[in-house]
Chain A
Amino acid sequence: SQQGEEDPQALSIQEGENATMNCSYKTSINNLQWYRQNSGRGLVHLILIRSNEREKHSGRLRVTLDTSKKSSSLLITASRAADTASYFCATDGYGGSQGNLIFGKGTKLSVKP
């Protein structure tokens, strides 16, 4: 079963705008990751945030984590057409007791030039 649920399911914006995607999860976690997937391709790791961290930055990406609300957000600033992809959050399985990664349903981002 899925641990993370992304919101919104689809997002369409203009180039230069910011894109915010949210992820909610059900059980306690040790770490949360975000991945990007271009259509029909493999996933690319974007950022990892640990349960004791609240915010992390990587280039134009900003990830926040609120463990009290069991939620995370991914902000892409100054979006580009090349950012068009699906974005998935992924957490430890079942409260960190298992070693596998469980992916959310994903947000499909479309950035129009």
Chain B
Amino acid sequence: DTEVTQTPKHLVMGMTNKKSLKCEQHMGHRAMYWYKQKAKKPPELMFVYSYEKLSINESVPSRFSPECPNSSLLNLHLHALQPEDSALYLCASSQEFSGARHEQYFGPGTRLTVT
């Protein structure tokens, strides 16, 4: 199974809501990533988990809170978001956290709209 799944596919939330994005992979990968992608832009790295530990936080505002409950699951908790946070949120995984040495497998993304 070489699939990364993400739920939900679409999410509309108000600025006072709390919601969570979920990501799952069963490839035995030890690195998992959250990216944010705005229209016509490349993905921007937000967080990296390596062996279930947070390895990189790219200065992401605290209204985004990542969680890695186990080696197969990755969550992104959202709270008090701003309209400018509307974007496609992509989850990815790779065998190891090792730069471009291993390919990353991406999920289909969650299209988030903040109203």
Say if the beta carbon of B88 comes within 8 Å of chain A: yes
Q: How far is the CA of A44 from the CA of B55 in the complex (A)?
A: 24
Say if the beta carbon of B21 comes within 8 Å of chain A: no
Chain A residue at smallest Cβ distance from B88: A40
Q: Which residues of A contact B108 (CB under 8 A)?
A: 41-42
Q: Which residues of A contact B97 (CB under 8 A)?
A: 99-100
Say if the beta carbon of A73 comes within 8 Å of chain B: no
Say whether B107 contacts A33, CB under 8 Å.
no
Interchain CB contact (< 8 A) of A103 among B43, B48, B101:
B43
Render A70-103 as a binary contact track against B, CB cut-off 8 A, 1 for contact.
Answer: 0000000000000000001011110010111111
Q: How far is the CA of A98 from the CA of B97 in the complex (A)?
A: 9
Interchain CB contact (< 8 A) of B105 among A45, A91, A93:
A45
Render B93-115 as a binary contact track against A, CB cut-off 8 A, 1 for contact.
Answer: 00001111101111111010000
Seen from chain A, the residues whose Cβ lies within 8 Å of a Cβ on chain B are 2, 29-33, 35, 40-45, 48, 88, 90-93, 96, 98-106, 108
Can you list 19 contacts pairing A with B, beta carbon distance less than 8 Å?
A: A29-B100, A31-B99, A31-B101, A40-B111, A42-B106, A45-B103, A45-B104, A48-B100, A48-B103, A88-B42, A93-B99, A99-B31, A99-B48, A99-B55, A99-B98, A100-B48, A103-B43, A104-B42, A108-B40
